[in-house]
Structure 1
């Protein structure tokens, strides 16, 4: 299993890391988000940052991107000490970031959204040409004239990546990039990231999906409670050893037991609801039963009606649009409750 704390392995020919953090700390009123964090990323390296929710990963990434200022510590970029006071300063250095929750305007075109993130002056026609060239070169298939509301989730992520690529990043931060993607889109993303790495771009990859980390990353830094608790080569670890580094103890063994469904507590029958949001997803003939003692899962790529379904079940839109007999709770139509 990876070392609890050890110096990250550096190739003999890597004299200057692309990014080096030393003693980074950030204190908020109720919690110390980062506590004496050290992180080294080499040129062309795909480096994972692992940890549970609240481990301090997002704060650290925001510090690197200039969205948060550290209280203590030093940041080195290509061997030189720098202060990254804003995302614009980070982009000027060559640092790009694709956030977990996309920052795109639905009513604008792809080209207009990308233009908003550029720090230099631009011409929309010339920019559209550059977008087509870059997206075609990397196989990202982005049309600058399409409106964002017409794009699928995977296409929206391509827009975010192309927006970064237009600024020639030397370090790309990917925050939970596959949380809303289909398996096919994940494969496409990995192809792009591996190509970027082969061209010398360093990648910081944040994810909870250990199989992805092992398939993509050459090294990993593990965080827990705001501190670095381990470093390893994830390709030489198992899921269990990586998880143990993340949580600090061995995981309990679980066994699946037979389950006998109880009475129906929630019944949804032929639920159809037209979305009030012009960019939302309407529900069409949704039916399912939830039994007593049952853990019922609703799966799907983000943007496929989950929010609308929960709004209908919670009563947020029931009065106006949901048929009275479409939802029953403990045998009673929800409209009567």
Structure 2
């Protein structure tokens, strides 16, 4: 079987911790593959190794069945590997197009980049206004800029590190539509998360890490949250007890609040009404 990406026995030791301990995984072309684990399980370190930002102490990386040495993010992008980090790397004072342009081959002019942004945005349903300054963008809009920047390199493998940690549920749904489109067109996706419901809804396969080691590889669509939790933390998740709230007197009342937008990209508040009770 031909793999888009194959890791064999990847190990990375830091002075106080072994972040990755003999980790192996493989990703098929067009597959959305989750890497699941708690904070500190070694997920981000493993992704940085694939992207050339961290050098492993041992192990091998194969890309399209060829043994590769990924010594830098530039080499990763040249191979066809792009990554969208959990913490965005955008300059607030520049436009979306200028930020995208900074990360691309200098053979492109800014008007050409704007044209390509518009084409990719339209193709994948990613709403990005190339002329908007980044400081006026919401978190979801900033993430779309990062994804468009990654897609303009025509990646064969896209790595997303905790992509929904700062998104609204509506933005998550939009992101999933885009990722499914990408996968259908043959792009492989490594999806790093600890959100079980999302992984079960989106991903075809899942590699689980705990303490830097692989504890299982499963089809998340065939698993429950409890079974994935056992692989991730080694035990059943604690049972949650729901306690009915005891509501007191009204603590805040807002009636017919209106406020004109404070900047060109803001929104007006019109006739906002709400009330909040003590204990609510």
Q: Given the two structures, how large is their TM-score scaled by the length of structure 2?
A: 0.87
User: Would the aligned equivalents of 2:247 and 2:277 in 1 still touch at CA under 8 Å?
Assistant: no
1:20 equivalent in structure 2: 6
2:74 equivalent in structure 1: 88
Residue 142 (structure 2) pairs with residue 167 (structure 1): no
**1:29/1:288 CA distance change after superposition, 3 Å:** farther
Tell me the SS of whatever aligns to 2:54: coil
Q: How does 1:50-61 map to 2 (within 5 A)?
A: 50-61=36-47
Residue 35 (structure 2) pairs with residue 40 (structure 1): no
Query: Of 189, 195, 213, which aligns to 2:175?
Result: 189
**1:259/1:183 CA distance change after superposition, 3 Å:** closer
**1:36/1:198 CA distance change after superposition, 3 Å:** same
1:104 equivalent in structure 2: 90
The Cα shift of 1:254 comes to: 2.9
Whole-angstrom CA distance in 2 between matches of 1:258 and 1:166: 50
**1:78/1:155 CA distance change after superposition, 3 Å:** same
Whole-angstrom CA distance in 2 between matches of 1:289 and 1:170: 52
**1:139/1:29 CA distance change after superposition, 3 Å:** same
Gaps of 5+ in 1: 1-14, 271-277, 297-337
Whole-angstrom CA distance in 2 between matches of 1:135 and 1:73: 37
Whole-angstrom CA distance in 1 between matches of 2:105 and 2:212: 32
User: Would the aligned equivalents of 1:98 and 1:173 in 2 still touch at CA under 8 Å?
Assistant: yes
Tell me the SS of whatever aligns to 1:97: strand
User: Would the aligned equivalents of 1:84 and 1:90 in 2 still touch at CA under 8 Å?
Assistant: yes
Query: Of 212, 218, 221, which aligns to 2:207?
Result: 221
1:62 equivalent in structure 2: 48
Tell me the SS of whatever aligns to 2:33: strand
1:119 equivalent in structure 2: 105
User: Would the aligned equivalents of 2:4 and 2:64 in 1 still touch at CA under 8 Å?
Assistant: yes
User: Would the aligned equivalents of 1:175 and 1:205 in 2 still touch at CA under 8 Å?
Assistant: yes
Whole-angstrom CA distance in 2 between matches of 1:216 and 1:258: 33
Equivalent residue pairs, number = 263
**1:78/1:120 CA distance change after superposition, 3 Å:** farther
Q: Given the two structures, how large is their TM-score scaled by the length of structure 1?
A: 0.73
- CA RMSD, 1 decimal: 2.4
The Cα shift of 1:140 comes to: 0.9
Tell me the SS of whatever aligns to 1:245: helix
Query: Of 148, 152, 169, which aligns to 2:134?
Result: 148
Whole-angstrom CA distance in 1 between matches of 2:135 and 2:95: 9
Gaps of 5+ in 2: 255-262, 270-274
Whole-angstrom CA distance in 2 between matches of 1:210 and 1:204: 15
Whole-angstrom CA distance in 2 between matches of 1:237 and 1:16: 26
